[in-house]
Chains A and B, each alone.
Chain A
Amino acid sequence: MSRVGRGHSTARTVLGAVAAAATLVAMAGCSSSASPSGSGDAGGDVTIEFAQWWEPELPDGQFRALMDQFESENPGIKVKLVSGPYASTKEQLFAGAASGTMPDVVGLDGAWVNDFASKGVIANLTDLMTQNNYDESQLASQIKVDGSTYMIPVVNFVYPMFSNDDLLAKAGVTAPPSTRTEFADAAKKIKALGGDVSGWVLPLSLEAPNGVQNDVMSWVWASGGSMLKDGKPDLTNKDVTSAMNYIDGLWKDGVIASGSFTMKEQDKVEEFTNGRVGMMIDSLAHINLIRQSNPNLKFSISAIPAADGYTGQRGIPYASWGIGVAENSAHKDAAFKLVSFLMSKDTNSKLSTLAKAFPGNTQSTPDFSGSDELFKKAFDIYKAGYPANEFTGLPTAEDLMRQLGQQLQTALDGQQSMDDALKNAQTSWAAAF
């Protein structure tokens, strides 16, 4: 009997100890997963992680095939793709930056670069280019902070004006408008067709405030204007004021589709695709989507209308698939080899063709032979103007868009004048610089 009692007591003690030990092991297991990214395999291979939102947006297997090509050209380096939608990639990168576990190579949006660079979580590419004797003259653009490059745009997507040919024809407009006056006139005529049709669509959602960049500020850039002066906010200058007052006029004329204040980019595209708006400013990346969703829709693209009398080059908004290297990467050389590979003439041509985008290497040429004719036209518009996106590289760029968007909403709702909205936005922007 005494043995039984002792056995129970011992078992209880052992059980408790085992449970405690198991918990500690489990905890240790959890923490071990948070080791720095990239690893050296037993066979001497280096595995680098590449986090981006590009793979899901390309035809199945095509991006992996490019990585396979890189691996075959660079024996000893393996690439692990970490792919997800844009929003989750962004959150993942910020979480990785916070915990020091950012993947070795990262897909970047220009709006994030300043914040990442100023916090020291992405590597100085100028240094890496120097160390690797990289010829940077082939790069179409580089995103710099304090004079050093932190992001290289791999491919660029431009945002021209899309116009619904049928609606324009019904409204008696024979050609897509080229000036602000022509645009306002066409928008009014389309609105006058009645029903739920509108002339223009303006997404101003504060959840995803990129409408401020693509649909609002594009009017400033299209007329050669700027929202910055010496790198600092300059929202009250005559170019910005003129464009904002123009938009305010369109709003008061009632030619803008309903629901602007909570409308997002996908809502805008849906409105256009369903034939409910005559004109929109949108990414070329959506041409295929529009064709698939509504094969009967006849539409064309053209340069964003400029201020009456403006004869200079027109800025055309663009968004990039940018690339950078994590500061915490233990394999920066391998990571830069991948960057170089993606920016090389042939790979960049191939990637821009796959993405229906414009190349980041000046020597690359996309093959639009099998693509929609609109891509070729967009390329001509792109060549005739200049890529413009002043939010790229600014601190807390997305929040700047949100602040301006909120002030614009207040002005359009009649709660303040447009001049006051711009003054208030200028004050709040200045605090971020």
Chain B
Amino acid sequence: MTLKTPVSLDTEVLVTGVAHSRRRRQLRRTTESYAFLAPTLILLLVLMIVPIVMVIGYSLQSNVILSKNGQFVGIQNYLTVLGDGAFWKATSNTVVFTVVSVAAHLVLGLGFALMLNSTLIGAVPRAIFRGLYVLPWLFAVAVIAVLWRMLLAPNGVINFLLNANVEWLASPQLALGTVTFINIWAGYPFFMVSLLAGLQGIPSDLYEAATVDGASSVQRFWNVTLPQLRPIIVSLLLLDLIWTSQQFALIWMTTGGGPIDVTEVLSTYTYKLAFAKYDFSLAATAAVLVLLMSMVLAVFYVRHQKARD
């Protein structure tokens, strides 16, 4: 893309009635173009570039933010964080939490979307189911955390219904699975709604042609539905991987990263470095590492979007 607008000298003279030198005209056009872009560029600079550069800068210093005498320490903070067993435990938990959540979001979202798109269900039940299934998406994360803490409490509704006394969130063996389940419950409607829109955009001709060719319903699903949904699915997967890997509020409000460290993820690890240990240098370092991991996914996402265009 170029910022210059190709206008011939003669046309400009005809339109404006003023003859300027080529250099001056070029300068004016360039200035004009940047003036139009300025608001966006300034916002981008102030809201994104500057904070990111500052955080990277903090990660290369010691005693930042609260202290006024930060010192440049190079990659020492990176060596400290990467040498911390808690960081790797948090990374491992993040991977498990993210991969299981995203996979379940896809399976559940696709399943519900297929059901809601099916002609086997009448219009009224379909509307009711659609309303019910989309409900988790309407709650704020804080509400979801409080709601599930109450439901899953040792004296809560779930244990009452199961006639059990299971410590769903407080057991080191169950906690990671439980918070992952809550995250799955909270996040599948995004997939469901997006995939339902995708399903409704698939031309019926394709199904008719497949039926004429003798394809079974399973074959139609694998050879028509999934290929048609593939661009949406890939986009959703990449976005969800980025979002879920940065989930903080849900885990913080349900388990605080515990019991012990079984639900510690990168976001809670970073938060504790900043607001419990007040080590903003190491927190910035952990944040930069998370940024680098997210950028890998972001690059895949952008490449996928460009390929679609």
Partner of A406, one of B38, B65, B261: B261
Cα distance, A208 to B275, chains bound together (Å): 12
The residues of A that contact B272 with a CB separation of less than 8 Å are 399, 402
**9 A-B residue pairs with CB within 8 Å:** A19-B35, A91-B275, A98-B280, A119-B66, A259-B153, A261-B258, A262-B255, A399-B272, A413-B260
A205-B165 contact in complex given A396-B276, A396-B277, C-beta closer than 8 Å:
no
The residues of A that contact B18 with a CB separation of less than 8 Å are 6
Tell whether A343 is near chain B: CB-to-CB under 8 Å.
Answer: no
Decide if B38 touches A206 in the complex (CB within 8 Å): no
Tell whether B187 is near chain A: CB-to-CB under 8 Å.
Answer: no
Cα distance, A27 to B276, chains bound together (Å): 32
CB distance from A97 to the nearest CB of B (A): 6
The chain A residue with its CB closest to the CB of B156 is A259
Decide if A19 touches B258 in the complex (CB within 8 Å): no
Decide if B258 touches A259 in the complex (CB within 8 Å): no
Tell whether B39 is near chain A: CB-to-CB under 8 Å.
Answer: yes
Interface residues on A, range: 35 or more
Mark B residues whose CB is within 8 Å of A: 14-18, 28, 32, 35-36, 38-39, 42-43, 46, 65-68, 149, 153-155, 165, 167, 169-172, 175, 252-261, 272, 275-278, 280
Partner of A6, one of B17, B165, B167: B17
Decide if A16 touches B42 in the complex (CB within 8 Å): no
Cα distance, A406 to B261, chains bound together (Å): 8
The chain B residue with its CB closest to the CB of A401 is B276
Decide if A19 touches B39 in the complex (CB within 8 Å): yes
Decide if B153 touches A19 in the complex (CB within 8 Å): no
Closest 7 pairs (CB-CB, A-B): A207-B256, A16-B35, A261-B259, A258-B154, A206-B258, A20-B38, A5-B15
Cα distance, A307 to B259, chains bound together (Å): 29
Cα distance, A6 to B253, chains bound together (Å): 61
The DSSP consensus for interface residues of chain A is helix
Report how many A-B pairs have Cβ atoms within 8 Å.
Answer: 127
Cα distance, A262 to B253, chains bound together (Å): 10
Cα distance, A207 to B272, chains bound together (Å): 9
Tell whether A409 is near chain B: CB-to-CB under 8 Å.
Answer: yes
Cα distance, A153 to B167, chains bound together (Å): 38
Cα distance, A137 to B8, chains bound together (Å): 87
Partner of A208, one of B42, B171, B256: B256
Decide if A261 touches B35 in the complex (CB within 8 Å): no
Decide if A258 touches B255 in the complex (CB within 8 Å): no
The chain B residue with its CB closest to the CB of A22 is B39
Decide if A262 touches B170 in the complex (CB within 8 Å): yes
A120-B68 contact in complex given A115-B278, A206-B258, C-beta closer than 8 Å:
yes
Cα distance, A260 to B153, chains bound together (Å): 10
Cα distance, A115 to B36, chains bound together (Å): 47
Cα distance, A24 to B39, chains bound together (Å): 8
Partner of A205, one of B38, B167, B256, B261: B256
The chain B residue with its CB closest to the CB of A405 is B258
Partner of B16, one of A6, A206, A396, A399: A6
The chain A residue with its CB closest to the CB of B67 is A119
Decide if B276 touches A261 in the complex (CB within 8 Å): no
Decide if A413 touches B16 in the complex (CB within 8 Å): no
The residues of B that contact A192 with a CB separation of less than 8 Å are none
